Structure 1
Amino acid sequence: MNNNGRIFAVDDDELIVSMLARALKKEGYEVHYQTTTAEVVANIAAWHPDVVFLDIDIDEKMSGLDVLEALKREGVGAAVVMLTADDSAESAIRAMKLGAVEYFTKPFNIEEVKIITRNIVENLRLKEEVKFLREREAKAPEKQFFGESPVIREILQKAQKLASVGAETILVTGESGTGKEVLARQIHAWQEAEQEEEGPFLAINCTALPENLIESELFGHTRGAFTDARTDKKGVFELAAGGTLLLDEIGDMRLDLQAKLLRVIEDRKVRRLGGSIDLPIHTTVIATTNKDIKIAAEKGEFRGDLYFRLSTFTVCLPPLRERGEDILLLARHFLRFFAHKYLKKEIKGFSPAAEKAIMSYPWPGNVRELRNVIEHCVVLENVEIMEPWHLSLNLPQQRGFVERRKSNRIILPEAGISLEEVEKELIHQALERTGNNQAKAAKLLGITYDTMRYQVKKFGLA
């Protein structure tokens, strides 16, 4: 299946242009060519090529330089390579000034043409991907999805199998914050390992873009398709060629767009807004949603035919509260990750009381909430061992207890508190943190060693 790029060649010598087309088709490119300038600018614009080869002397009506000028004027974004029988520098310099990226003197070396073409296409895709990521993607989350609970092991096995067989469309469901995008990235990584080549991973949130832009982002547009369409633009289906496209929160997509999406997924072709050509797509589509789109389809709030098409391969992620074996595993992972990120080398781990609090909390925001809580702790605290109050979790056993703020000020709860209990708890924690070394514990609390010995004996903590 050709997916290396699209080439449009124009030369009055049919022998040359057909030879060029055959050579590039063998390299996996889709190639179209013509030998006259009849409707050439319109034909090139409609075909949406990545690279255009232009003979400088095509025919009496238009030269290749005239065509080049017209393409730039029309906003056609293809890279242009000039072909010339003139070995003087004058025509080459003029072509470069007009925007050509390369030129070849006839007779040219076809192997050199292949190399240059591949480099041009790769550079174009790299620029497009970088531009898209800068515009659309915030900081990417950690890319590895992991867990040791039986349910997660089963999910990872299924996801890896889908990646290995090259499933073209996958639906990932689960509550908000369960790690749907992280799993999508993991599937992408497995697919890349199978193919032994790198492809892009592009994510687009179906609810984050304005209504008037989402269709253009998905499918692209041609110049003049609407008021602000000043140049041709590729949509994410084209930009993700050879890689993965994540459609996040697909359950909230407009019904009219769902119909167009279904056609793209089924036909594996996309047509830009205002365009007349169906462009083949070669990308894995992973759709995610926190909604039950089966029920939504039954209510007429989601297209049933799209649901059945997407649900061929479904992975359902459980909430964090249903994978208890993974909670501390993830908490410790995030603690190490953020301690390294924020250069907090002094942070070593959680106290037993903190781990108990982590396990007792229901985590309604799932893995995302756990991640955010741990990051908040690491940023604000400068301690070796994280305690329950550092986590700021709303647990029943912590309500009415000591609240510790950034200023290190102790806040007296409205209902009051036993000062003796506070004193005992702090001494206990100091001993726990220092491995029952009373001298170090006394230093932590700012008291003398003799006072510490007295307090330990008083509260029976020896």
Structure 2
Amino acid sequence: MKAKIVVADDEPRIRKMIARLLTDEGYEVMPVENGREAVEALLSFHPDVILLDQQMPVLTGVEALEEIKRISPNQVVLFVTAFGSISLAVDAVKKGAYDFIEKPFDNDKLVLTVGRAVEHSRMKGELSTLKKTLGEKQSSVIGENTGLRQTMIQVRRVAETNATVLIHGESGTGKELIARAIHTNSLRANGPFVAINCGAIPLTLMESELFGHERGAFTDAKEAKAGTFEQADGGTLFLDEIGELPLDAQVKLLRVLEERKITRIGGKKAIPVDVRIVAATNRNLDDEVKDGRFRLDLLYRLNVFTLILPPLRERKEDIPLLTNFFIRKYNRTLSLDVQSITPEAVKLLGSYGWPGNVRDLENAVQSAMILCTDGTIRPEHLPDRVKGYELAEEQSVAGSGGNSIREINAQIEKELILETLRKHSFNRTLTAEALNISRKTLFNKMKRYGLDSATDK
């Protein structure tokens, strides 16, 4: 389903340009010319994200933001400003805007910011649904899986403190959901939760994203901008894929953790920040330290409290519960009417190794639901990699050496990557996002499996 974007700007040229750019990116766009129409679009169009220009007739951007937040507190809003003072944009963020964009803006950066806002909007929607679901089934969820139960006990305990948390887990295990749970259950719950994927931001923008910049700090710095540390002031900053952070940025991050102050690029003033850090990685950071890719002193700073998320293959009791949750979710979002799944199909789901973890299971269930025509998911509706896994595993165990399971998992991971590459027309950025891994991790895996030269043939 296409994400819906409202673009509110009183300048027809700017409004049309943004609408065309976002439409080309695959979004469904509703352009409006003032703040009042933006509020009306909230009720009629039900957008994922609203872009509000500051200077508009009828209602200004800030006035429209305040009214939108009164009607729908969880609505994600991006604030657009062309004025020299950064104070308006900062004030908008304090009043509930997700982020702000400065005119004149770079098209790539606009698309990147909107993409993050859409992902944030959908994550908030899924969290709301998940909270309602778990509210009904909380005892069965916790009772079914000792590993997950222990993790949630630790989450609740550490949430009550202000300790820095490092989450270890494979891609797709739900590290951001755990980070949000820590924030939601903490004394900072009313403050902002800001997430940044250290593996998805270009190296040239990394320091600017984290620490912000002053006007004129570099070629495209038309206006001053607050970084994620300032945006998260009083709340929680989630640093996903922390192992991907470049060494020079690691040095600056360490200094911020020690001094609790940041200095914007091109700036001289040290700005105090009150931020709780939750970081996550799918790498072994001890090995990264040995190989010289991660600083030992930074690891000590981050590794105050460690949470380890078990992969889905180690908590297969959750597969039926998660499957039913995804069926309900996609019945709603895809307008489907799937009512059940056969025991044979459930058995196949339980036999599969799930190298992509929960996200991999979600994709498989979604695909099966689309192929299902009579309201019941059967084995033939499941992806080939899932249907073939049980038989391949039995044959390999019977006729191969002791590394057969590892070899099977590697083959399945290779097929999953290739399948996702084809699904996204071999666009590596979209493929990495779909697999919930960084581009660098995707490149390394493609090289390992001989897919680095893969193209659509």
TM-score by length of 1: 0.57
User: Cα offset for 1:74?
Assistant: 9.3
Deviation per CA, 1:44-92: give whole Å up to 9, x if none. xxxxxxxxxxxxxxxxxxxxxxxxxxxx99933124xxxxxxxxxxxxx
Mapped partners of 1:355, 1:267: distance in 2: 52
Indicate how the Cα distance of structure 1 residues 223 and 373 shifts in structure 2: closer, same or farther if over 3 A, else same: same
More helix by share: 2
SS at structure 1 position matched to 2:331: helix
Mapped partners of 1:323, 1:124: distance in 2: 40
Residue number in structure 2 paired with 1:131: 100
Of residues 289, 304, 311, the one that matches 1:319 is 311
Indicate how the Cα distance of structure 1 residues 336 and 128 shifts in structure 2: closer, same or farther if over 3 A, else same: closer
Aligned: 1:189 with 2:181: no
Indicate how the Cα distance of structure 1 residues 163 and 232 shifts in structure 2: closer, same or farther if over 3 A, else same: same
Mapped partners of 1:189, 1:262: distance in 2: 25
Moved over 4 A (4+): 144-147, 396-399
Deviation per CA, 1:315-368: give whole Å up to 9, x if none. 111111011211222112111221122222x31121111111111111111111
Residue number in structure 2 paired with 1:170: 165
User: Cα offset for 1:372?
Assistant: 1.1
Residue number in structure 2 paired with 1:439: none
SS at structure 2 position matched to 1:221: coil
SS at structure 1 position matched to 2:190: coil
User: Cα offset for 1:134?
Assistant: 3.1
Aligned: 1:308 with 2:295: no
Aligned: 1:150 with 2:146: yes
User: Cα offset for 1:397?
Assistant: 5.7
Which amino acid in 1 is paired with 2:335? L
| Runs (5+) with no aligned partner, structure 1 | 1-71, 80-119, 400-462
8 Å contact from structure 1 (residues 243, 284) kept in 2: yes
Indicate how the Cα distance of structure 1 residues 348 and 73 shifts in structure 2: closer, same or farther if over 3 A, else same: closer
Of residues 368, 372, 390, the one that matches 2:363 is 372
User: Cα offset for 1:288?
Assistant: 0.9
Which amino acid in 2 is paired with 1:374? V
Mapped partners of 1:342, 1:223: distance in 2: 44
Of residues 218, 224, 233, the one that matches 1:241 is 233
Mapped partners of 1:397, 1:264: distance in 2: 49
Deviation per CA, 1:289-319: give whole Å up to 9, x if none. 1100012112222100001111111111111
| Runs (5+) with no aligned partner, structure 2 | 1-80, 102-112, 135-140, 393-457
Residue number in structure 1 paired with 2:388: 395
User: Cα offset for 1:189?
Assistant: 1.6
8 Å contact from structure 1 (residues 220, 234) kept in 2: yes
8 Å contact from structure 2 (residues 351, 389) kept in 1: no
Indicate how the Cα distance of structure 1 residues 380 and 76 shifts in structure 2: closer, same or farther if over 3 A, else same: same
Residue number in structure 2 paired with 1:35: none
Mapped partners of 2:161, 2:315: distance in 1: 28
SS at structure 2 position matched to 1:233: coil
Residue number in structure 2 paired with 1:331: 323
Aligned: 1:78 with 2:64: no
8 Å contact from structure 1 (residues 129, 239) kept in 2: no
Mapped partners of 1:398, 1:382: distance in 2: 26
Aligned: 1:284 with 2:280: no
Aligned: 1:357 with 2:348: yes
8 Å contact from structure 2 (residues 165, 303) kept in 1: yes
Residue number in structure 2 paired with 1:293: 285
User: Cα offset for 1:221?
Assistant: 0.3
Deviation per CA, 1:253-272: give whole Å up to 9, x if none. 11111010011112111110
8 Å contact from structure 1 (residues 74, 223) kept in 2: no
Residue number in structure 1 paired with 2:332: 340
8 Å contact from structure 1 (residues 351, 387) kept in 2: yes
Of residues 181, 205, 214, the one that matches 1:222 is 214
Which amino acid in 2 is paired with 1:190? N
Mapped partners of 1:398, 1:379: distance in 2: 25
Indicate how the Cα distance of structure 1 residues 383 and 122 shifts in structure 2: closer, same or farther if over 3 A, else same: farther
8 Å contact from structure 1 (residues 271, 277) kept in 2: yes
User: Cα offset for 1:280?
Assistant: 1.2
SS at structure 2 position matched to 1:209: coil
User: Cα offset for 1:274?
Assistant: 0.9
Mapped partners of 2:165, 2:347: distance in 1: 37
Indicate how the Cα distance of structure 1 residues 396 and 134 shifts in structure 2: closer, same or farther if over 3 A, else same: closer
SS at structure 1 position matched to 2:278: strand
Mapped partners of 1:375, 1:396: distance in 2: 19
Mapped partners of 1:124, 1:203: distance in 2: 15
Which amino acid in 2 is paired with 1:180? K
Mapped partners of 2:314, 2:100: distance in 1: 39
The 5 Å alignment of 1:28-107 reads 75-79=84-88
Residue number in structure 1 paired with 2:174: 179
Which amino acid in 1 is paired with 2:169? G
Mapped partners of 1:239, 1:339: distance in 2: 36
SS at structure 1 position matched to 2:100: helix
User: Cα offset for 1:129?
Assistant: 2.1
Higher-Rg structure is 1
User: Cα offset for 1:122?
Assistant: 5.3
8 Å contact from structure 1 (residues 75, 223) kept in 2: no
Mapped partners of 1:327, 1:281: distance in 2: 41
Residue number in structure 1 paired with 2:422: none
Aligned: 1:212 with 2:204: yes
Q: How many corresponding residue pairs?
A: 283
Mapped partners of 1:184, 1:292: distance in 2: 19
TM-score by length of 2: 0.58
- Computed over aligned residues only, the root mean square deviation of the Cα atoms, in angstroms, reads 2.5
